Amino acid sequence: MSDPDLTLPPKDRATPGPGAKPAILVEPIAHLPTTVPARRASPGRRWSRMVMALAIVVLGAGGGAYWWTHRAAPLPLGIASGNGRIEADPIDIDTKFAGRIAELLVDEGDMVTAGQVVARMDTQDLEASLRKSQAQVDLARKSIDEARANVDQQRSQAILADQEMARARSLLEKGWVSKEVFDQRRQQLDGAQAGLAAAQSRAIEAEHSLDAATHDVELLKVNIADNTLVAPRAGRIEYRIANVGEVLPAGGKVFTMLDVSYVYMDVYLPTEEAGRVKIGTDSRIVLDAYPDHPIPAKVTFIATQAQFTPKAVETKTERDKLMFRIRVRIDPERLRAHAEAVRSGLPGMAYVRFDPNVAWPERLQGSP
């Protein structure tokens, strides 16, 4: 039950008598903050935090020690390096004539050898033309036989006309024939000789016709053979661009292959280092995928003009803005022995030893 004096205004409340203790009025004050006593961390939680901090310190120190012991040693003076990607020469296998693809014999990723058939085009029209040319060859041969027979006939007539002319001359000298008969024999001889010359010309023409028909046959055979697409070099099929049944124009691409005998890496070196590099300089290529297998190589190209540093090239300093492109090529004999392992596009580093008196570091010596 509530006190009635607490509900009255202060002036109407009862005044305590002498000797009585004054009453304490307690009114709630909502706008004052409430203080929450802080909780002390338990000894177990403090110990966990200390162990975690100690573990972080130990791991950081261990990682730093591992990096320090496994970091690559700096290159000696006389050896320059640059990053790049391993590349193989691409070769397009194209059609020579417009036509339809009849057969594909390889696919992407297949290894092919030089001269291996990779595709065949439809050659029905060329084969029909070939049969026609072969028939013309047969006809030309028969024409030659006929022309030669005509030559023999005209030669016989010319011989007879010459003999009659000789007899007419003898008889004319003795007065046994008239001058008219002698003139007739002369005309017969001239006509026979002209006929012989014409027959010989027709025989020569027939022989040329045979040669032309024969060359047509050879040309059609070559064209039919060119519609059988072969790999020009040993390598790997990288892309199959067309499919069976597609009609391609002349020069249409069917495959793109990689020449595994020409594998290189282009790197960029600053002027001071590039100026000391020569064609044939000994080099090494180290791929990121095989960091423990340096590949021996040689410098085969040095750009004659400098260019600004490409964005993909990481330089040691920002002072050298002009760089020279250097091509480092792997030995073809080594590539033939490891053709299956050739991959294009793998990133790595190329090291160029422009000072022959400097020895390769142990990690770059490579296998013989």
What DSSP string describes 92-117?
A: EEE-SS-EEEEEE---TT-EE-TT-E
- The reply to whether 260 and 347 lie within a common domain is yes
Asked, for residue 62, whether it belongs to a domain, the answer is no
Alpha-helical regions (H) of 175-320: 179-226, 271-274
pLDDT at 222 over 90: yes
Residue 284 lies in a domain: yes
Which has the higher per-residue pLDDT, 48 or 80? Answer: 80
CB-CB contact of 294 with 366 (8 Å): yes
Of 296, 269, 273, nearest in space to 285 by CA:
296
pLDDT greater than 50 at residue 9: no
The residue type found at 210 is: L
| Domain membership flag for residue 260 | yes
Selection from 57-66, 271-280, 301-310, 314-323 with the highest mean pLDDT: 271-280
In this prediction, residue 65 has a pLDDT band, given cuts at 50, 70 and 90, of very low
Residues 260 and 325 in one domain: yes
**In-domain check, residue 173:** yes
Q: Which residue has the tokens 């008196």?
A: 357
Q: What is the number of structural domains in the chain?
A: 3
Q: Which tokens is 293 given?
A: 């297998």
Q: For the beta carbon of residue 319, count every other beta carbon within 10 angstroms.
A: 7
- For residue 199, being part of any structural domain is answered with yes
> Domain range holding 103?
94-120+228-248
**Weakest mean pLDDT among 97-101, 338-342, 352-356:** 338-342
8-state DSSP, 310? P
| CATH (domain of 238) | 2.40.50.100
Reported as a pLDDT band with limits 50, 70 and 90, residue 47 is low
Query: Angle at which helices 124-174 and 179-226 pack, to 10 degrees?
Result: 170
Do 237 and 102 form a contact (C-beta atoms < 8 A)? no
Would residue 46 count as lying in a domain? no
Report pLDDT digits (tens) over 182-220: 788 888 888 888 888 888 898 899 999 999 999 999 999
**327 and 202 inside one domain:** no
Question: How far is 313 from 192, CA to CA, in rounded Å?
Answer: 89
CATH number at residue 302: 2.40.30.170
pLDDT at 93 over 90: yes
**Domain check: are 186 and 205 in the same one?**
yes
> What is the DSSP code (8-state) at residue 358?
S
Mean pLDDT of 85-108: 94
Within this chain, do residues 236 and 138 fall inside the same structural domain, yes or no?
no
Q: pLDDT value at position 49? A: 67
Residues 295 and 197 in one domain: no
pLDDT above 60 (res 329):
yes
- Contacts of residue 303, defined as CB under 8 A and 6 or more positions apart, other chains included, come to 324, 325, 326
Same domain (yes/no): 257, 360:
yes
The better pLDDT of the pair 33, 159 is held by 159
Which whole number is the average pLDDT over 260-277? 88
Rounded to an integer, what distance in angstroms lies between the CA atom of residue 58 and that of residue 220? 80
Which of 197, 216, 248 is the C-terminal boundary of a domain? 248
> Could you tell me whether strands 79-94 and 347-353 are parallel, antiparallel, or unpaired per DSSP bridges?
antiparallel
Domain identity same for 332 and 357: yes
Residue 345 lies in a domain: yes
- Alpha carbon separation from 274 to 78, 125, 328 (Å, rounded): 11, 57, 13
**Are residues 219 and 320 located together in one domain of the fold?**
no
Which of 191, 226, 261 is where one domain is finished? Answer: 226
Strand partners, 91: 257
| Same structural domain, 236 and 111 | yes
Question: What rounded mean pLDDT belongs to the chain?
Answer: 80
Asked whether residue 13 is assigned to any structural domain, the reply reads: no
> Which pLDDT band holds residue 175 (cuts at 50, 70, 90)?
confident
Q: With pLDDT > 90 as the criterion, what percentage of the chain qualifies? A: 37
- Check: CB of residue 207 under 8 Å from CB of residue 138: no
State yes or no: pLDDT of 28 exceeds 70: no
Q: What is the DSSP letter of 3?
A: -
Phi, psi of 249 (to 5 degrees): -80, 175
> Same domain, yes or no, for 257 and 286?
yes
Whole-model pTM? Answer: 0.61
Closest CA to 94 of 221, 197, 242: 242
Question: Does one domain contain both 105 and 238?
Answer: yes
Name which of 33-37, 178-182, 266-270 the model is least confident about: 33-37
